[in-house]
Amino acid sequence: MKSPPSKLVIGLAFSCISAIFNTGIVDQIALAKSTNPENCDILAYVIDTDPQGLNVRSNASTKSTILGQIPINETVQVVAAAGNWVQITNASDGFEGTGWVFVPKLGLTTQGYGTNGVDLYASTSEQSQKVGRIPANTAVILLGCQGDWAQVEYQGVKGWLAREDQCGAALTSCS
């Protein structure tokens, strides 16, 4: 049979673990350990159709504090990426400051107006293998970013889109 002090220690340990999970600290610890944010410098636009707008959070977690919202089609500057989250700043409307948003809520379109499309690369270099071609002025799924390169998916093909081939404004072709 366990002594009362050992029961107390076990009870305190479970209480601490519960508090860590319930406050979202575990998400922040997991983010810090598993993914160092990657610096980025791209533009994207909000595709979240929630009438309240896209939630901007204090950290890369749905449990983090909501700092504000950004309406659909507004442009944001993406400055970092960590997993399925990106850090944004300079929203064209609805939010001032810097915060984190869930990357599937942002969109990107290709440029290349008047051409036969843009190339999709295997890595963040135009010297890397071309893995596909995307028609001009076509919406793609934004997956992340690195520097001024956007990681995207188009018709099941994932790759990297060079800065000059990206359009981060929803209501224009960026040509």
For all residues of the chain together, what is the average pLDDT? 85
Report how far residue 75's alpha carbon sits from residue 68's, in angstroms, rounded to the nearest whole number: 15
Kindly tell me if the per-residue pLDDT of 93 is higher than 60: yes
| CB crowding 110-148: b at 16 or more within 10 Å, else e | bbbeeeebbbbbeebeeeeeeebebebbbbbbbbbbbeb
User: What pLDDT, in 10s, does the model give residues 107-128?
Assistant: 999 998 888 899 999 999 999 9
pTM above 0.85, yes or no: no
